Amino acid sequence: MVITESLKHQEVLGLKFGYAPIGRPQLWVYIYFIDGLLIDTGQRRASKQILENTENLAVDQIFITHHHEDHTGNIRAMQEKHSCEVFGSEKCSQIMKNPPGISTAQWLVWGNRDAYDHIQPISETLKTNKHHFQIIPIPGHSPDMVALYEPQQKWLFSADLFINSYIGYFLEGESMRDQIESTKRILELDFDIMFCAHNPQLTDAKSSLKRKMDFLESFFEQVATLHNKGYSDRQIFKSLKLKEDHFVKFLSGGQLSKINMVRSVVSDIERKP
Ligand SMILES: [Zn+2]
């Protein structure tokens, strides 16, 4: 089942897509359209709906925030439909030439995406007729991820930086330290609205992001303290009375888990104490 919904906030159109093999979707992806610019292309599983719902939009450029399959599932189809250029960060452009594989669970929920070797790397700014967006690297969730910031309107297109104030699991390879650094940098900006790719914050955006940073910082500190005392990852997990969401872990084929959050901190420390 595919469900499509939309939101309109100021000039920004958000289109929300969810797919589930059975029953009502639990996971959603937003793509945003503003002044000829389409931000991300959604998941392959909702291809038909995404193409139909964007058919009448005057898309003259596409920007990809990062290489994950729920953002890059329809690049080629959208580019062909609108005959426009596709932009992204230098790293995203490189990764998309030969993107990493995905788990069965990701394949089930989002679908895969094809390699795409025509993302034009840009940094610093992206212009539309009426707006100037600053391109801000926000590594952590993925190394290539960037946000788009429109200072006049105080809009932040935050890709997957926020998701929620509390996070219960990480993908393998995410860096919590980088996420904290990226979040700190973003909190220095003056923004009112956070167009998150999964959970837009139209009010109190900054305090929601601040809460997330407090959560990440305190988690990092607690894990670091125990790790420095010589505890193993499992002992840290137990001492902090963390509980694994086995359903999520199972659904993601082991890719998403809470133990990954502990491991992320430990590998951040080992990389650079
Ligand atoms: Zn992502």
pLDDT digits (tens, 9 = 90+) for 122-135: 999 999 999 999 99
Q: How far is the CA of 172 from the centre of ligand 1 (A)?
A: 12
Ligand 1 centroid from CA 267, angstroms:
20
**CATH number listed for the domain at residues 2-211:** 3.60.15.10
* 194 bridge partner residues: 156, 201
Helix/strand/coil for 9:
strand
Strand ranges, E, within the chain: 2-9, 12-19, 28-34, 37-39, 61-64, 85-88, 120-121, 125-127, 132-137, 146-150, 155-159, 170-171, 193-196, 256-257
Give this prediction's pTM.
0.94
pLDDT per position as a tens digit, 156-204 = 999 999 999 998 999 888 999 999 999 999 999 999 999 999 999 999 9
Whole-number Å distance, alpha carbon 66 to ligand 1 midpoint, is 7
Residues 196-216: tens digit of each pLDDT: 999 999 999 999 999 999 999
CA of 25 to the centre of ligand 1 (A): 18
Residue 178 to residue 185: CA distance in whole angstroms: 11
Q: How far is the CA of 71 from the centre of ligand 1 (A)?
A: 7
Q: Residue 102's pLDDT is what?
A: 85
Q: Which positions ≥6 away from 186 have C-beta within 8 Å?
A: 136, 138, 147, 156, 158, 161, 209
Distance 68 CA to ligand 1 centre (A): 5
For residue 25, what pLDDT is reported?
79
Residue 221's nearest CA partner among 176, 259, 165 is 176
Query: Quick one: what percent of the chain has pLDDT higher than 90?
Result: 81
Q: What's the CA-to-centroid distance between 45 and ligand 1, angstroms?
A: 16
